[in-house]
Structure 1
Amino acid sequence: MAWKPPGRSELRERVRFEVRRKGERVGGVIKEEWVTFCPDRRVRLLPQRGGESVIADRAAGVSVWILDVPADSVVRQITAAMRVVDARDEARTWDIKSPPLDLAGDDRWRTLTLEMGGSDG
Structure 2
Amino acid sequence: MTTNYKETFDRFSLYFLAILISPVLFGGILATYSIIAFQDSWSFGPTVLVVALYSFPFFAFAAFPVSLYIDFSARTKNYSNRVKTLLYAGFGSLAGLLASVVLYDLFPTIFMFIFGMLGGVIHFSVLALIKKFIK
Is TM-score (shorter-chain normalized) higher than 0.5? Answer: no
* Higher-strand-fraction structure: 1
Scaled by the length of structure 1, what TM-score is found?
A: 0.29
